[in-house]
Amino acid sequence: MVDPRDPEARRTSLTPRADGVIEKTEKIDANLRTKDETPKTKDVYAELVKLDDLRKRRILTDAEFDEQKKKLLAGS
């Protein structure tokens, strides 16, 4: 056992340090592509619901609704 009054024991400071460094070198394929995961039919449906709501609120006339609906369906 070390005597705490020993000058040699006081001289040493115990600080934690790394004994070695572990380096992991591994190639990672980070193929990041963004895809539109939502089908177009959901977008068309949502737009049709919006148009129908505008028609029900009398913001769009029936003729305007039909015209926008044709454009929307032709684009899909």
What percentage of the chain carries pLDDT values higher than 90?
Answer: 34
Q: Is the dihedral of CA 59, 61, 64, 65 positive or negative?
A: positive
Interatomic CA distance for residues 47 and 54, integer angstroms:
11
- Provide the CA 53 distance to its chain's centre, in angstroms: 31
- C-beta separation of 56 from 39 below 8 A: no
**Burial level of 51, CB count in 10 A (0-12/13-18/19+)?**
buried
> pTM, whole model, 2 decimals?
0.46
pLDDT for the residue numbered 3: 78
- Kindly report the average pLDDT of the chain as a whole number: 79
